[in-house]
Structure 1
Amino acid sequence: MTSLNKVERRKSVAERSPSVSYTPDVIPHLAGLEKPQAHSLLLDECDVLIMGTGLVESILAASLSWQGVDVLHIDNKTCYGDSNSTLTIEQIKSWCQEVNGGKIQHFEDAQVYVSGELSLPTSKYKSKDYGIDLTPKVMFAQSDLLSLLVKSRVYKYLEFQSLSNFHIFENDSFAAKFSNPTSKEEIFTDQSLSLVTKRYLMKFLKFVLQDNNDEDKRQVLTENAKVPIEEFLKKKFNLEKSQINELVYSIGLATKESSKTPEALARIRRYLTSFNVYGNFPVLVSKYGGPGEISQGFCRSAAVGGSTYKLNTTLVDYDPSQKVAKFSDKSSVRINEKLVVSPTQIPKFLQTSYNEITEALPMKNINRLVVVVKKDCKEWMSNSESSAVVVFPPHSLPSDNSKGIQALVQNGGSGVCPDGHSIWYLTSFEQDKAKAKLDLQSALDKMEAAILRESSNNLDDVLGEEDFVISERGTPVVVNSVKLGKSLQNFVPKEKLEIICKLGYVQQTYVANDLSNVLNPTKDNNVTLRKPKDCGEIIFTNMPSAEISYDGIVSECKTLYSSITGADDDFFDVDFEDEDDTFDGAGFHQQPQTVSTIKANALTDDENAIASSDEDDHNEPFGANEMEL
C-alpha cells in the first residue's frame, strides 16, 4: 500500500495546541503526533475496535471513551481524517494514485494538475503550505455539532472563523435583488428592491421564523408537504425568481428544483436562526482545515478519555468465534464487543459482507473540483473574514446545469494556503459524471472571469453610477461584493488567473442528499443498521454526505453509539472538570458561574477566532428530533 505523508505533512492539532495546563497532568498522547508510535500494539484486548479516523468515527471514539469503554482506534493511513482528511499537495498526488489504483473505496476518477512552480528550488511556496479538504464543510452557528464541540470541550483544540458572505449567480452574472436578508433593517435599506417586494419578503421571513409548533404554520406545511419550494414561494408569497433563488439556493443551500417545501423552509430557517448567535454572521469554518481538523480534535478528546491510537495499521484477519483481531504490525487483540469499520478501510476478507449489505442501497455521486489560485479573493469576503460561499442555481450556467453547484472559497487567512492565494471547492450533485464535469468547469469559468474583473486595477475606469447603491451608512458601494454591475459583464481584464493546483474527483455515498436516511435511519435505508449475516459484531459506517454543512453528523454518531451500547441517553453525558471555563477568543478565563452564552464580540481582530457557547442550542434543520443533544 502506498503510504501517504512519508516525506511531509501539515502540522496537526496536537502540534499546534500541545497538552497545556487545563488538561490532566498525564495525557495519553496521539500516536505519531506528540510522541513516536510504538512498533506494535501494546494491549491484549479492547471493548471496541474502530477503523478509520474520519469525523463520525472520531466523535464515536470520544463518546465511548468518556463512558469508560476501552477503545482501540486505528487508521490504515499515516495521517488522521480518513475520508475527511486535509492533505498537502504532495499527499493529494499520492492519494490520486491510490484512488485510481482502486485502493480507496468510494472515490474514483481522481485527476490532479500541479504547477511546476512548486518544484522549483527558488519557489517560496511548498506543498505543505496548502491544506486541501477532501470533504469541505461549513458549520451553522445554530447546530448540534457546535453544541457538541462546546459540551465535549473539543472546541478548545480548535479555532473557528466567521463566514457571512453568500453569493449567487444568475442571468449570466453575479447580480441579485437583495443579499443575505438577515434582518428587517437590512431588507428595508436595500435600494435595489421595490417597496412591494420588501413587503412580500418580510411576510415570508415572518412566516419562516414562526415556531414550527404554531398551529397555522403546521397546517400550511402539511398542505404543502409535497409541493416544490419554488411553486410554494410564488403562490403563497408572490416572490420573483431572483428572490426565490437567493432564498432557496444561497441562503438555504438547497441543490435541486424539486426540493419540497418543508425541507427547503427548514434550510432557510437554519440560516436565519444562526445569524447573530455569535456575531453578525450565520456560519463558522474551522481554521487550518475542515472536518479533518475537527476529527483530530475529537481524537485528542478520545485519547484523554483513554482510547489507544495507532496509525498506518490495517486489520488483516478477524476470528468471530474467538473474537481475536490480527493486524498488519503482527499484533493480536481480543475485541470484547464490536468492530466499527469505515467504508474506505474495509479489509479484503470483509468486502463480500459489505457488498451484501449495500447492494440494495442507491449510490449517490458527489462530483468535486478543487482549484488553488493565486488570488486572495478578498473582494468576495467581508472585512476580516477569510471565506465565502458562491452558489449556482439550477439552469444558471451556459452548460444548463440541472442541479445546483456550491463553491466554498477560502484564502490564506484561513490557514489552508499562503497569503495572497485561495482554495476554491466546487461541488456538483449531478449524477451523470460527464455532465457534472461540464457544469463544474462552466462554474469555474464564471468564477474566474468574475474575480479577474473585480480585482482588476482598471476597475474604476469601467464602473458607472448604475453600478453603485447607497449603503445603510449613506456611502456609495458597488452593487455587491461578487455580484457585479452590468458595466463589468463585458469588461475583459488583461491578466490571467494563475492556478497552483487543480483537482477533480468523484466521491460516492449511500447517504441521501436530504439526509433522510441519517435523520430517520432504518435497516432498509442505512448502512450502519444493516448487519452482516456472518458476523453481527461488525458495524459499517457511512461515507460523508453531499451536504455542505455538518448537519446529520451527530445523528450518525448517535446511531452508531446506540448500536454499540443499546441507547444514546448517555452520549457525551460527562461532567467535565473545567465546567466554568469559557473561551473568549483570546484565551481561557475563569468565570464565577457557568457561562450560558458568548458575547458577539468574542472574535479576535486578527484571526476571527470564535468562542463557543455552553448553551445547548438545538438545531433541527429538517425537523428531526434525532439532531438534538
Structure 2
Amino acid sequence: MADRRPSMAERRPSMQNSRRPSVIPHLAGIEKPVLPTTPDECDVLICGTGLVESVLAAALAWQGSNVLHVDSNPYYGDTCSTLTIEQIKAWCHHVNSNSPGFHGFTKALLYIPRPNKLNSKDYSIDLTPRILFAKSDLLSLLIKSRVFRYLEFQSISNFHTFENDSFGKMSSSKEEIFTDQSLSLSSKRSLMKLMKFVFEYDNEENAALLAQHKTTPFVKFVEEKYRLLPGQINELCYTLGLSSTPDIQTPQAMSRIRRYLISFNVYGNFPALYSKFGGPGEISQGFCRSAAVAGATYKLDTTLQSFDSETKLATFKDGTKVKVSEKVVCSPSQAPTGSQYTPERKYEVTRLVTIVEKSCKEWFSDGDSAAVVVFPPNSLPSLNKFPVQVMIMGPGSGCCPNGQCIWYLSTIEKGEKARLDVESGLKKLEESILRESEDSGFDVALNDEDIVVRPDGTASVINSVKLGKSYKEFVPKEKLTFLFKLMFTQFTSVEPFGVASESVYRRASKEEVSSLAASGAPDKGIVYSNMPSAEISYDGIVTEAKLLYTSIVGSDDDFFDVDFEDEDETDQISNQNNNDSAIVDEDDEEFKDEMDFEL
C-alpha cells in the first residue's frame, strides 16, 4: 500500500521490548505483507475489522474458535477507521461513487486548500471519533483482555458548554459547585440534590420516582422538580450527559449523568480518556492483535463475493474459497458483492472534520491535549434543534503535527439543516479561539467573579475559554488557517440516545433483518452487525459484541473468560503526556463490568 499510518509497533518501538514480542505475532497488512493464501476452512468468518467485529474476533479466538477475519479495505477499522489524508481522499471517492462497501455513508465533501502543508502520514483522522469514560464496560474489557497494552491513553478533563456567546467549563464536582461564584446558593443546593439523586437512584424511594417519570423528558423533569435554570439544564443534559437530542427521557439522561459522575476522579481529576494516535480504529487494531495472539487469521484487501448457506462455502473476489462450519458475520459495509443489502437508514449523523493551523491550547487543561465542546439546542445562529457535539484533538494526541489541531463536529439533525448547523458551530469555534488566543494580542480583563480560590489555596478561572458579551465586537488581528475540511453523512439503525442496553441493539438488529428480507437479498446464513451509532462515547460496543457472540456460541458466559499467564501482575494504563497517568489495579474490586446504565 502506497500510503498508510505507521503501525502500533512502528510508533512505539521502545515499548514493544517489554511486551513479550516473541508471543505477540505481527498482524498481516500492518507489519508484514498480507497472507498469500486463504485457509481452506474456519469456524467463524468475520468480514470487516470495525471495533465491534474486532472485539468479537478476539473473544471467539480466545474461546477456541478458528476465526478468519477479513476486510475489503487495505487498512483496519472498516466504518470506524483511523485514516491518513491520502486514505481519506480515496474513501471520499468510494463514498461519492456509491462503491460497494460504502453505502452507509453519503455526500462526502473534501476541501484541502493548502495541500503542500499536509504530509499525509502525519495525520490520524477518525471516521467515528469517540471518548472513553473511566467507568465503562469497554475500559473494563481492555484491562481484562490485556488489549490496553497495545494502546496509549490520555485524559480529557475539559468539557465546555456554549451559551450566551461564551464557552464555560463545567462545574461537576462538589468542590467546583460550592466555589462557583456564578451560582446562587439555591442553585447550588438544587444541583447537589440532583447529584445525590443520581448516585442513589436505586434506593426504593428514588426508583419509584424514576418509574413515575420513565417517559417524562429530562428537561421537563429537572425544571419542575429541581427548579434548575436553562443554562444548568444544558450543562447537565448536553455536556455532562452528552445527549445528542433534546427529547431524551429522564431514565436515559440520568444514566448518562451518572456515567460521568462515577467516572470522575477514578484515575485522576478527569472523567474520560482517549486513545493516542487515533480512536476506534486504533482500539480495533488492538483487539485484532489480541485475536492474532489467540490464533485468528487476518487478510486485508479481501472481499466476500458470496456465501452458500447450503454448502457453507464462502467465495472471495479473488476466487479463493473457505468452508465455514459455524457462522458468517458481516459489517454492513462488507456485504457480499452480489447482495442488494444496504444498511438501515433510520437515523443519521452528519460529521464535519477540520484541521486548523493552531494548537488550540486555550481549550485544554494543563497536561491535556483534547477537549469536548457542546452547542446546546438553539445556541447557534442557525437555531439548531439538536446539540452540536465537538471533539477537539491537539498535537499531543498524536493525531496531527505540532501547532495544529483537529476539530470533529457532529449532529443528528438531517439533510441540509444538519450541514448548516455544523458549519455554524465551526464559525463560533473559529471566532472563540481567535478571541482567546494569546497570539491575537487581545487581553481578557478578569474580575473577582471570574476567579475562584480552591480550598488548597490555588486560584483558577471559572471559564477556561472566556467570551463575555463585551467581546462580541472584537475584530481579531489574525485569521484562522484551515488546512483540511471533510463533511459527510453516516447512516445507522442504532438510536442516537441509546446507552449500553441490549434492547437497543436487539431492536436495531431486527430492523436490519427486516430490511434485508424486504430487499430480497440472497444473504441467508449471514449475521450483520450495525453501522456505528451517533454516540461519541464507546457505550454499546461491548453490548453489541456480546449479542453477536451469543448468536454464535449460545451464551456470553465465557466471553473473554481467559486465564492469562500474567494474571497476578499489576498493570497500568499510562498517560504519556507529561507526568499524568491513570493507574489500574487489576485486583480493584470496584473496577468491574458495571456499565449497564439502563435504569
User: Is TM > 0.5 for Structure 1 vs Structure 2?
Assistant: yes
Q: Please say which of residues 438-447 and 525-534 is displaced more in the overlay.
A: 525-534
Once residues 623 and 379 of structure 1 are traced to their aligned partners in structure 2, the CA distance between those partners, rounded to angstroms, is: 36
Q: Superposed, which structure 2 residues align to 1:237-248 within 5 Å?
A: 237-248=226-237
Q: Shift of the alpha carbon at 1:164?
A: 0.7
Letter in 1 for 2:4: R
- Matched to 1:623, the amino acid is E
* 1:618 match: 593
- Structure 1 residues 508 and 585 mapped into 2: Cα distance closer, same or farther (>3 Å)? closer
In structure 1, the partner of 2:174 is 184
Aligned partners of 2:508, 2:370: CA distance in 1, in Å?
35
Q: Partner letter of residue 3 of structure 2?
A: E
Aligned-residue offset at 1:24: 7.1
Letter in 2 for 1:564: I
The equivalent residue for 1:87 is 83
1:428 pairs with 2:411: yes
Q: Give the TM-score taking structure 2 as reference length.
A: 0.93
| Structure 2 counterpart of 1:57, one-letter code | E
Moved more, 545-554 or 611-620: 611-620
User: Is the 8 Å Cα contact of residues 528 and 542 (structure 1) preserved in structure 2?
Assistant: no
Partner of 2:565: 577
- Alignment match, 2:185: 195
Q: What's the CA shift string for 1:82-105, capped at 9, x where partnerless?
A: 011111111111110010000111
1:170 match: 163
Cα offset, 1:467, TM superposition: 7.0
**1:97 lines up with 2:93 in the alignment:** yes
Q: Does 1:438 pair with 2:445?
A: no
Identify if the C-alpha distance between structure 1 residues 335 and 445 changes in structure 2 by more than 3 Å, giving closer, same or farther.
Answer: same
Counterpart residue number, 2:382 = 399
Q: Report the residue type matching 2:264 in the other structure.
A: F
Provide the residue aligned with 1:455 in structure 2. 437
CA distance in 1, matches of 2:445, 2:570: 47
User: Residues 17 and 65 of structure 1: is their aligned pair in 2 closer, same or farther, counting only changes over 3 Å?
Assistant: farther
**Alignment deviations for residues 321-377 of structure 1 (CA, whole Å, 9 cap, x no partner):** 2211222333221111111111111122232xx35xx6xx66111100001001111
- In 1, Cα distance between the equivalents of 2:327 and 2:110? 38
Aligned counterparts, 1:464-543, within 5 A: 464-465=446-447, 468-472=450-454, 477-515=460-498, 519-520=502-503, 525-527=508-510, 530=513, 536-543=524-531
Matches within 5 A, 1:343-382: 343-351=332-340, 354=341, 363-382=346-365
Query: Quick check: 242-251 or 469-478, which moved more?
Result: 469-478
The residue matched to 1:339 in structure 2 has which SS? strand
Give unpaired runs (5+ residues) of structure 2: none
Within the alignment, does 1:291 sit opposite 2:280 as a pair?
yes
| Contact 2:351-2:489 at 8 Å conserved across structures | yes
The C-alpha deviation readout for 1:255-300, integer Å capped at 9, x for no partner, is 2222111111111111000001111100010000000000000000
Q: 2: distance between equivalents of 1:206 and 1:266? A: 13
* Counterpart contact for 1:314–1:328, Cα < 8 Å: yes
SS at match of 1:505: strand
Question: Aligned AA for 2:93?
Answer: Q
TM-score (norm 1): 0.89
Rounded Cα–Cα distance in structure 2 between residues aligned with 1:186 and 1:364: 37
Alignment of 1:21-420 (within 5 A): 22-23=19-20, 25-41=22-38, 43-103=39-99, 104-116=102-114, 118-119=115-116, 123=117, 125-175=118-168, 179-210=169-200, 212-351=201-340, 354=341, 363-420=346-403
SS in 2 for 1:526: helix
Q: Which amino acid in structure 1 is aligned with residue 148 of structure 2?
A: Y
1:137-173: CA deviations, max 9, x gaps? 0010000000000000000000000001000111233
Which one-letter code corresponds to 1:111 in the other structure? L
Post-superposition offset of 1:559: 0.5
1: CA distance, partners of 2:467 / 2:571: 39
Q: Give me the whole-angstrom Cα distance separating, in 1, the residues matched to 2:549 and 2:128.
A: 23
Distance 1:312 1:612, change over 3 A: farther
- Report if the CA contact (8 A) 2:357-2:482 is conserved: yes
Query: How much has 1:462 moved relative to structure 2?
Result: 4.9
Structure 1 residues 456 and 517, CA gap change in structure 2 (3 angstroms): closer
Identify if the C-alpha distance between structure 1 residues 186 and 216 changes in structure 2 by more than 3 Å, giving closer, same or farther. same
CA distance in 2, matches of 1:554, 1:219: 29
- C-alpha change, 1:457 and 1:605, in structure 2 (3 Å) is closer
Work out the number of aligned pairs and report it. 586
Contact 1:77–1:312 (8 Å) recurs in 2? yes
- How far off its partner does 1:474 sit? 5.2
Q: Matches of 1:30 and 1:237 in 2, distance apart?
A: 54
| Equivalent position SS for 2:282 | helix
Q: Does the Cα contact within 8 Å between 1:143 and 1:618 map onto a contact in 2?
A: yes
What is the CA–CA distance in structure 2 between the aligned matches of 1:523 and 1:504, rounded to whole Å?
30
2:322 is paired with a residue of what secondary structure?
A: strand
Aligned amino acid, residue 444 of structure 1: L
Contact 1:61 1:299 in 2 (8 A): yes
Residue range with higher mean Cα deviation, 542-551 or 227-236: 227-236
Tell me if the contact between 1:527 and 1:540 (Cα under 8 Å) persists in the aligned partners. Answer: no
Moved more, 6-15 or 194-203: 6-15
Aligned pair 1:549/2:531, yes or no?
Answer: no
Identity %: 52
Give the Cα–Cα distance (whole angstroms) in 2 for the partners of residues 451 and 517 of structure 1. 35
Offset from partner CA, 1:73-127 (integer Å, 9 cap, x none):
00011110001111111111111001000011100000011132x33xxx5x511
SS at match of 2:425: helix
Q: Quick one: distance in 2 between partners of 1:507 and 1:159?
A: 28
> CA contact under 8 A between 1:585 and 1:604: conserved in structure 2?
no
Report the Cα offset of residue 622 of structure 1.
3.2
1:308: Cα distance to partner? 0.3
For 1:557-572, what aligned pairs fall within 5 Å after superposition?
Answer: 557-572=545-560
Q: Which amino acid aligns with 1:453?
A: R
* CA distance 1:572–1:17, shift in 2 (3 Å): farther
Alpha-carbon shift at residue 209 of structure 1 (Å) = 1.1
Q: Provide the secondary structure at the position in 2 that maps to 1:9.
A: coil
Residue 578 (structure 2) pairs with residue 606 (structure 1): yes
Secondary structure in 2 matching 1:96: helix
The whole-number CA distance in structure 1 between the counterparts of 2:511 and 2:43 is 18
Partner of 1:591: none
Separation (CA, whole Å) in 1 of partners of 2:113 and 2:585: 42
Please state whether the residue corresponding to 1:520 is helix, strand or coil: helix
Contact in 2 for aligned 1:522/1:529 (Cα 8 Å): no
Give distance in 2, aligned partners of 1:291 and 1:611: 22
Please provide the CA RMSD for this pair. Answer: 2.2
- Per-residue CA distance 1:42-97 (angstroms, 9 max, x = gap): x2110010000000000000000001100000001111000111111111111100
Q: Does structure 1 retain, via aligned residues, the 8 Å contact 2:306–2:337? A: no
Change (3 A) 1:459 1:278: same
Is the 1:468–1:476 Cα contact (8 Å) retained in structure 2?
no
- Cα 1:191/1:151, change in 2 over 3 Å: same
- Alignment-mate amino acid for residue 448 of structure 1: E
CA change 1:39–1:543 in 2 (3 A) is: same
Amino acid at match of 2:480: L
Q: Aligned letter for 1:190?
A: D
Of stretches 379-388 and 526-535 in structure 1, the one that deviates more from structure 2 is: 526-535
